[in-house]
Structure 1
Amino acid sequence: MDNPRFYIITGASGAGKSTLLRALGDLGYAVVPEVALSIVQEQEKRGGNLFPWTNLQVFMEEVLARNLSAYDAAQTLPSPVFFDRAVPECIGHMRILGLEIEAKHVEACRRRPYAHPVFVAEPWPEIYVTDRWRRASFARAQRSYEPTVAAYVAEGYRTCLLPKASVEERVAFVRQQIKNDEPKQIAEASRAAVKYPDDAGRAPIEGVDHH
């Protein structure tokens, strides 16, 4: 079972994923921002301590909970909807990191299907840069790539590699893959609810490297 309305864009950190998502948003497509980075930014802004380097188990549980909530909230958005990473990836990283996962969360993941294919941005050293939110070296960021893809394959998703090309070419590629679905106008309330955070698009597992 899949959900033909909900598409995932994932892959390596620093490979142009968030740039592509912003470009799709500019065309009027609904975009749901990456949860883990949103939590880190939120905690830094208000002086909180919910970070992967302070309590990884609790942090990832919060990432999972918010990913599930984001899926449910997106039901009201116009089709198609693009997610910056998603629930299966969160479950996969928790397994890799040896964290506890309740059976109800695994079941909740499987009750929230996404569309095929899952779009994947490969590691792209030529455009990789570090910044405030992306502190890992390219080599370290690259190591999280295969586990990220494996998380979706393990849940039965077909993946599709994005071309290493301009953002315009990537947008055209994605639109072709989803049969050129025309973007629908997003209501102002919905647009505000899914506002893309600044400097978004870092892999949840990369949060471990921020310390």
Structure 2
Amino acid sequence: MCDHMFVVTGGPGSGKTSLIDALVRRGHRSMPEAGRAIIQDQVRIGGSSLPWGDRAMFAELMLGWELRSHHEASTLEGPVLMDRGIPDVVGYLTLCGLPVPDHVETAARLYRYNSRVFIAPYWDAIFAQDAERKQDRQEAEATARVMAETYARLGYQLIELPRTSVEARADFIETQLSSR
């Protein structure tokens, strides 16, 4: 059982990573997001497994990353904050209009997290694009919606993060973690 692993998901630019970084500074453990690191590596090596290239291969690389993160986090003590999870790969493929291979769906059902999943809603005030985050506002909103639908379909309880400061969001999560 992996009740100690808590996923933080949502659309791009919704403050997930900043929130997790704040919680790490408070002493919590975390597993990093796959997408940004894969994009950086693929760009560095001239690879095509990118959201603006071979989306299916990008999803496979994310799946491998998320499986590794799940395995690593399962060996840790105490709460571990996951910057996205395996169901995010299902959501990504769905968002792209690509088929979800059976092995990806199986992974999302087999490798579970705590039943409570934190979802960062789209928030125009903090959304920004950068070298790895090229999605526009509409795609960011759609991503948040698809992630919520995907996690709910897989039986997770969604807890929406408040649209407030990073520190207040961190306080909110710490309160949720203490009520396990």
Structure-1-length-normalised TM-score:
0.78
What is the number of residues matched between the two proteins?
Answer: 180
Structure 1 unaligned residues grouped into runs of 5+ = 182-211
Root mean square deviation of aligned Cα: 1.9
Q: Percent identity?
A: 31
* Aligned equivalent of 2:70: 71
1:50 maps to which residue? 49
**Which secondary structure state, in structure 2, belongs to the residue aligned with residue 125 of structure 1?**
coil
The 8 Å contact of residues 25 and 31 in structure 1, kept in 2 or not, is answered as: yes
Bigger CA radius of gyration? 1
CA 1:142–1:72: 2 relative to 1, 3 Å:
same
Amino acid in structure 2 at the alignment position of 1:15: S
- In the TM superposition, 1:9-48 aligns within 5 A as 9-48=8-47
2-side partners of 1:126 and 1:155: how far apart? 30
Native 8 Å contact 1:63 1:90 kept in 2: yes
Provide the rounded CA distance (Å) in 1 between the counterparts of 2:96 and 2:13. 21
Is the CA contact (8 Å cut-off) linking 1:64 and 1:91 kept in structure 2?
A: no
Within a 5 Å distance, the mapping from 1:100-139 to structure 2 comes to 100-139=99-138
Quote the Cα distance in structure 1 between the aligned partners of 2:107 and 2:147. Answer: 19
**Structure 1 range deviating more: 151-160 or 53-62:** 53-62
Letter of the 1:72 partner, please give it.
H
Please report the TM-score for the alignment, with normalisation by the length of structure 2.
0.90
Unaligned runs of 5+ residues in structure 2 are none
Asked if the contact 2:94–2:146 (Cα under 8 Å) also holds between the matched residues in 1, the reply is no
Cα distance change, pair 105–135 in 1 and its aligned pair in 2 (3 A): closer
Aligned-residue offset at 1:96:
4.2
1:88-124 deviations in whole A, cap 9, x for unaligned? Answer: 1212332343434443332232121111310111111
Counterpart amino acid of 1:28? G
Q: Is the 8 A contact 1:4 1:116 kept in 2?
A: yes
1:66 Cα deviation from its structure 2 partner: 1.8
1:170-198, Cα deviation, whole Å (9 max, x unpaired) = 111101111168xxxxxxxxxxxxxxxxx
Check 1:137–1:27 CA distance in 2 against 1; reply closer, same or farther (3 A cut): same
- Aligned residue in 1 for 2:61: 62
